[in-house]
Amino acid sequence: MKHTQSKLIRTQIPRTAEGEHASPMYLTSSFCFDNAEDMRAAFADETDVNIYSRFSNPNVQEFIDRLCILENAEAGFATATGMSAVFGSFMALLKKGDHLLSCESVFGSTHTVVSKYLPKYGIDFSYISANATAAQWEAAITPQTKMIYIETPTNPGLEVIDIAMVSAIAKKHNIILNVDNCFATPIGQTPIDLGADIVIHSATKWIDGQGRVLGGAIVGRKNLIHEIYLFCRATGPSLSPFNAWVLSKSLETLEVRMERHSSNALFVAEKLEGHSKINFVKYPFLTSHPHYSIAKKQMKNGGGILCFEIKGGIEAGRKFLNNIKMLSLTANLGDTRSIASHPASTTHAKLSPAERAAVSISDGLIRISVGLEHKEDIVADILQALEA
């Protein structure tokens, strides 16, 4: 098989004597041994068999193998949530005295981990703007910098960071580059091909794509993933086999889903641009996006998220949500159902206006996760809510 999509579809748990076509579910907490010697060898890491589902499980392994195919990664570990992937990658690879250099716009809970919890363990951090030049990135590195962490496109501001540019700097200084690829998905971009060492996912979003289960993953260089595996196997943020079964099945349709999500999103973005009640529309593949050329260089499509700034600030944002009829008002993103959210009054309400401005979240910013309903119905609902 020559193509990634075929390899992904045809990678599955070996068929059992029952001859099942879909992979069976291994809802078991542990695995049996024939004798004491086999059990001893397994615990001594002399064999590569399943012992206990906190360490490994066939459904979880199938999900990881498939994600590694999509991301061009050597190895991976799946976690219960995206946040346990983020936290596990930090805790396994950083130690007291190390410095983490992170892009300034990161997912809300990631910001809490970086700025509140890492310092508690003696791990220092600094933030850098998504607009930083190569020289500014270089200048932000200290002798203690052990890891660079970026999210691109960022949530919810949709800033795009040049992965190849940052990875060249990371390589020069022998620093691990860790990329949260949740928004683009491996269908939109493959950071490892651009020089990233590890890639993080919240599988809860586009990978599930249907708003059912939580999950996460870390894939990348074998030696780094081994450290992460040892940390996670001991501390226990393992993915449930049931969730892994759901997520693995979802990966089979990720490509076709993302193609439609992004063509719908581009259609909605183009229809909204220039509307009299909107200051600007931001979508990576709109030519007006400030990082359009970087997006075009590293992304195959613009993804399923767009945002726009409604005129009239917080009040106008709230009114817009109240007038929405079809789109869901919910905290998730990356679903078949389109979702509208207003970060300034919800997810980012705890930040000061200055902190929000630094991460491109203005009071009137609306984020739309574009679903798989007909694109004209999505636009029509947004337009009627703007005009109401």
Residues engaged in binding ligand PLP (CB under 6 A): 81-83, 86, 107, 110, 151, 155, 180, 182-183, 202, 204-205, 214, 216
Q: How far is the CB of 85 from ligand PLP (least distance, A)?
A: 8
Q: How far is the CB of 299 from ligand PLP (least distance, A)?
A: 15
Q: Considering only CA atoms, which of 199, 180, 206 is closest in space to residue 111?
A: 180
Q: How far is the CB of 105 from ligand PLP (least distance, A)?
A: 10
Q: How far is the CB of 204 from ligand PLP (least distance, A)?
A: 4
Q: Which residue is nearest to ligand PLP (CB)?
A: 82
Closest to ligand PLP by CB, 12 or 89: 89
What the block records as the tokens of 101 is 């250099």
3-state helix, strand, coil in the chain (%, to 5): 40, 15, 40
**Concatenated DSSP letters of 286-318:** STTSTTHHHHHHH-SS--SEEEEEETTHHHHHH
3-state secondary structure of 24: coil
What the block records as the tokens of 302 is 């613009």
Q: Tell me which H or E stretch contains 176.
A: strand 176-180
Q: Considering only CA atoms, which of 180, 181, 131, 106 is closest in space to residue 289?
A: 131
Closest to ligand PLP by CB, 81 or 89: 81
Closest to ligand PLP by CB, 66 or 205: 205
In this structure, what are the phi and psi dihedrals at residue 46, rounded to the nearest 5 degrees?
-85, -20
Closest to ligand PLP by CB, 183 or 229: 183
Q: Tokens 């930083």 — which residue?
A: 132
Closest to ligand PLP by CB, 249 or 275: 249
Q: How far is the CB of 151 from ligand PLP (least distance, A)?
A: 5
Pairing type for strands 176-180 and 145-151 reads parallel
Q: How far is the CB of 215 from ligand PLP (least distance, A)?
A: 7
Closest to ligand PLP by CB, 159 or 180: 180
